[in-house]
Amino acid sequence: MLGKAEEISESGKEGLKTEFPPKDPNVFLKLGKEGTILCANKAAKALLEYWGVKEGQKVPDVLRHNIKRILAQKEPKNFEIQAGKTTYAAVLYPFPEENYVNLQAFDISFRVLNEEKLRKREKQYFSLSNLSRISLTCKNLQEILERSALLIAKGLGADFSRILELMPDGTFIMRAGYGWKEKYIDSVIVKEKSQAEYPLFLKRPIILGDIETETRFECSEFIRRHDIASGATVLIGDMNKPFGVMEVYSREKRKFAEDEIYFLYSAAFLLSEIIGRLHAEEKLQIHQKELEKLVEKRTLEYTEANENLLHEIIERRKIEKSLTNNLKFLETLLDTIPAPVYYKDNDGRYLGCNNILARQVLGLEKEEIIGKNFAEAHNKSPAGISLEIHEDDLELLQKGGSDVSEKEIMCADGIKRDFLASGVTFLDEEKNARNMVAVLLDITELRKTENKLQNNVRFLETLLDSIPSPVFQRDLNEIYINCNESFARQIMGLPKAEVIGGSFREFQKRVPKELAEIYHKHDRSLLEKGGSNYYETKVLCADGIERDFLFHKATYQDSSGDVAGVVGVMLDITERKEAEETFRRSEERYRIATEQTGQIVYDYNTKTQEVDWAGAIPELTGYSFEEFQKINPEMWLEHIHPDDLGEIIEKVRVFFEKGERLREEFRFRRKDGNYIYVEDRRVLLRDAEGNPYRVLGVMKDITEIKLASKKMKESEERYRSFMKNFRGIAFQGNLDFTPIMIDGSVEEITEYRGEDFMSGKVNWLQIVLPEDRQNLINNNERLIKYPLLVIEHEYRIRHRDGNIKWVREIIQNVSDFTGKRRILQGAVYDITGQKEAEESLKKVEEIRKKEIHHRIKNNLQVISSLLELQAERFDEKEVLEAFRESQNRVATMAIIHEELYRSKNSETLDFSEYLQKLTSDLFHSYIVRKGDIRMELDIEEIFLGMDTAVPLGIIINELVSNSLKHAFPQGRKGEIRIKLCRVEENGENKSISNSTNNIGAKSSVDKSNQYSLVVSDNGLGFPEKLDFRNTGSLGLQLVNILVEQLEGTIELQNGAGTTFKILFKEND
């Protein structure tokens, strides 16, 4: 029936459905080989609706292709299915015998959603961190607002963001934004009844879910013009004194999550703190300027008054009236100063103060203070002013001058505030006693802001030092502004305090040369282009160890937006680099196993019977975290396979009675009903009385390990089968050639056991014949010196029974299983039979060559006889001479083949013996009378190959024949001399050949030498007007052609006779 799964009837499909758990929350489908849905459980309904198919119809094309592929491959396949907002992790299990597959899918949408949330949250935290850093380095409010708008938009993934400032008339103006055109900054006015003013009324963030359905407020045409669909607004600053609002918008309908609103609120709070700090600093500067003007003005007025008193006594009343007016003016002026002000006489008695000091600080009226000393005013005042302030005033009055200090004062409202007290003394009218005036500037909020900033700075410095990677910051002058402990100690080898503030040039001698060069090269490029860059390099650290680092450098800007320096992070990737090569080959093989690896950790309280579960619960059991927390020990036992349950219960009983540790393996039932193998390791904790009170344990899925163990056994069986049938010796060894592994036909080839070599009882070199041993040692040394070399060589070993065997060894360098250590690996084969066959073939070949030379010699002699018979028919002298020359040339070649036939070596010829026979035959051919012409042979013992000997013999034949015919006419006596010897080779002609093996037959022909042949006579000499290279003589034409064939040179020397000198090399 399953063979035709596509044609199952409706009743048959109902029967197949019973195989699926109907209430299981996971999707189960049974699919035919063409993708037809044979049956499905209830959980699959949503997926089928998304595909738009029903039972009996076919699934989408992509899934149908996968079905056919896995049925052909007969292996399960993992993949993901996206159905709208739902993500499934799916597995196809093939049943090729029945031509159908089962599809099982698990809803992993929650995990995907959580991963997305974590990424968003990390991005938001990064934006807040950047905003904090900007507040420390930037003093320009507008730049801070613009960069804040960018960070907020990026942190929330919004299309637009803007910061609106609340104006005195109740409208809002856009101060900064992201996503808008620049022309809208400082020009867009948001009027009343808008989304911006709602946070002020409702005192909470406002979320705009859908602009089309919003009824709480009117959405401006400006917003609608940008196709905005949704947004959110939060307040910047305190409700009583807001700066404005912060808004983000999206072109898509979007529900802002709680953590996104919290991020927006956090950014607004941080921005309000930054704005408050900037405003406080501005106010402080204004107050300082006003105080300086007041002091300057008062000093000028007192000077003028003193001059008037000394020089204009007559107009005293006018001056007193003027002083009275001035006093009233000063009192009025003091009352208008927003800071507490007072002045005292030399005894510390209050001569005057403003209303802020009287009411806010002392809680009294001015009349209750003026004229009183500190004790009298302090007794009346509800404020707890410290006596230390009064004592400081008396000290200042005594020594004179000015003083600035910070004071903490308990004010009349019971709140302690920080004040910046600035006091200065001046002389009275008689210039005898000193008076003083003091101004108290409230810096409470400023101190709070500074404390917050200092805490943030300390937190960032602590965070920086806690980062294990080296981090540094340098300005444009290469001065270290900041760094962490890791950079100072690990890279510079100095305390952090000595690095900060120092120039890179000062430390250049301490910094590794490689690091200095890299700094200069990459820093110059980075400062020119801006932005950031990544690069990897090796760095010699302070401990003298060279490590690999990944550098990430970026420029940072000052408040004006100009590049101010470079910030860098150095990530130590040494271990990663070392592990990359090791993990590369196994990464794909173990990737799926690594992704699926998980453990369950549990903590069982034996007294309360409560179990706390944690770890990879969904992946291992199929239950959710909440579901598995409800499983108690009794329910846990129900999930153990019945065949394993009895043994497990007994082990647990013994464990509680006697043991402290337990390791057990059993089959555990998952939520889907399938069993997996798990390894359970637990430890028992006992109290002071020795009673068990707690069990800690770890459960690990070892299903794959079980399957892998089975495969390992099969692999070992295959390896043993391979080595059993392997007709050679496989081995691995260290670089000193001590064996690590040896296997194969060891006993068959050597009669020794593999253990004899592994234990060192027998050394492989000991069984190598002495004649071959040194060559083997030389090759081994080359192998160690050149790691990429592969050596194949042949040598002889002595069998344990004394017989000699030929072996061929192939050996090379490889990495061991860790990938970190170089070892030697190779194989040895017995080629004794092959060598014996080669020797037999060599003898047959030698006999065959000798027979060929013999037959060629006979054939050439037949040709010579035919030429002689043919010549007898002619009487002309020229024709007879031509026949004789041809006959001599044939005889020249015949002599060579005769000599090769008689020689022991059929490939090379003893040329000295050959020349003696050749010249003797020439003299006989030309009927030279004994004593008329003498032949002098000066020839070294030289062996030449046939390809060189034949043309060289013909050359000598022609030159000697030419001398016999033309050098000695009319019975003239003389001498012919032939000299053949080796000469020094020109360096340009030398060649060097390297070989990686020693396999091949040796030749007795020395092809590396250059030879010199000189044929001379003391006869009439060669005609001067005749060019021997361009002549009608067939003999000389042959000489020139054959010299060129030998790739040699020929020259003619005329003098007392004729001399031909030829230089040539042995032909390949």
Q: For 669-703, what is each residue's pLDDT tens digit?
A: 998 989 988 888 888 888 877 788 888 888 888 88
Q: Convert the pLDDT of each residue in 543-568 to its tens digit.
A: 878 888 888 888 888 878 888 888 88
Q: Convert the pLDDT of each residue in 41-85 to its tens digit.
A: 888 888 888 888 888 888 898 888 888 888 888 889 888 888 888
Q: Is 511 left (phi over 0), alpha (psi -120 to 50) or beta?
A: beta
Using the 8-state DSSP alphabet, how is residue 354 labeled?
-
Model pLDDT, residue 632: 84
Domain ranges of the chain: 2-107, 115-277, 312-442, 467-579, 597-708, 726-828, 831-905, 907-1068
Using the 8-state DSSP alphabet, how is residue 422 labeled?
E
Alpha carbons 919 and 1032: distance in angstroms, whole number: 25
Angle between the N-to-C axes of helices 911-925 and 946-966, in degrees from 0 to 180, rounded to the nearest 10: 30
Model pLDDT, residue 877: 66
- Give 312-442's CATH code, choosing from 3.30.450.20, 3.40.50.720, 3.40.50.300, 3.40.50.150: 3.30.450.20
Q: Which amino acid is at 929?
A: R
Q: Which CATH class is domain 726-828?
A: alpha beta
DSSP string, 712-748: HHHHHHHHHHHHHH--EEEEEE-TT--EEEEEESHHH
**Of 750, 747, 727, 730, residue with least CA distance to 811:** 730
Do 354 and 294 touch, CB atoms closer than 8 A? no
Pairing relation of β-strands 974-983 and 933-939? parallel
With a cut of 60, say whether residue 504 has pLDDT above it.
yes
Determine whether domain 467-579 maps to CATH 3.30.450.20.
Answer: yes
If one counts every other C-beta atom within 10 angstroms of the C-beta of residue 721, the result is 10
Model pLDDT, residue 1063: 92
Do 702 and 692 touch, CB atoms closer than 8 A? no
Alpha carbons 965 and 957: distance in angstroms, whole number: 12
Residues contacting 952, CB < 8 A, separation 6+: 911, 944, 1013, 1042, 1046, 1064
Q: Convert the pLDDT of each residue in 906-920 to its tens digit.
A: 567 777 777 888 777
Pairing relation of β-strands 546-557 and 532-540? antiparallel
High-pLDDT (> 70) share of the chain, %:
81
More confident residue, 311 or 555: 555
Q: Which ranges in 203-257 belong to alpha helices (H)? A: 221-225
User: Per the structure block, which two tokens stand in for 935?
Assistant: 């032949």
Q: Which fold has domain 597-708?
A: Beta-Lactamase (3.30.450)
Q: Convert the pLDDT of each residue in 978-1015 to its tens digit.
A: 999 988 765 444 432 333 344 443 444 454 578 899 99
Model pLDDT, residue 380: 79
High-pLDDT (> 90) share of the chain, %:
3
Q: Is 742 left (phi over 0), alpha (psi -120 to 50) or beta?
A: beta
The reported pTM is 0.28
Angle between the N-to-C axes of helices 109-137 and 258-311, in degrees from 0 to 180, rounded to the nearest 10: 10
**Of 309, 353, 308, residue with least CA distance to 330:** 353
With a cut of 80, say whether residue 851 has pLDDT above it.
no
Least confident residue range of 101-105, 176-180, 246-250, 721-725: 721-725
Q: Which amino acid is at 74?
A: K
Model pLDDT, residue 988: 43
With a cut of 50, say whether residue 595 has pLDDT above it.
no
Buried b / exposed e along 448-481 (16+ C-beta atoms within 10 A): ebeeebeebeeeeeeebbeeeebbbbbeeebbbe
More confident residue, 853 or 996: 853
Q: With the CA atoms of 720, 721, 723 and 725 taken in that order, what torsion angle do they form, in degrees rounded to the nearest 10?
A: 160
- Give 907-1068's CATH code, choosing from 3.50.50.60, 3.30.565.10, 3.40.50.970, 3.40.50.2300: 3.30.565.10
Q: Convert the pLDDT of each residue in 270-283 to its tens digit.
A: 888 888 888 888 88
Most confident of 310-324, 583-597, 603-617: 603-617
Q: Which residues pair with 107 in a beta bridge?
A: 88
Q: Is 978 exposed, middle or buried (0-12, 13-18, 19+ CB in 10 A)?
A: buried
More confident residue, 647 or 991: 647
Model pLDDT, residue 817: 65
Q: Which fold has domain 2-107?
A: Beta-Lactamase (3.30.450)
User: Same CATH topology for 312-442 and 907-1068?
Assistant: no
* CA distance readout (Å), 480 to 416, 563, 856: 40, 15, 93
CATH of domain 115-277: 3.30.450.40
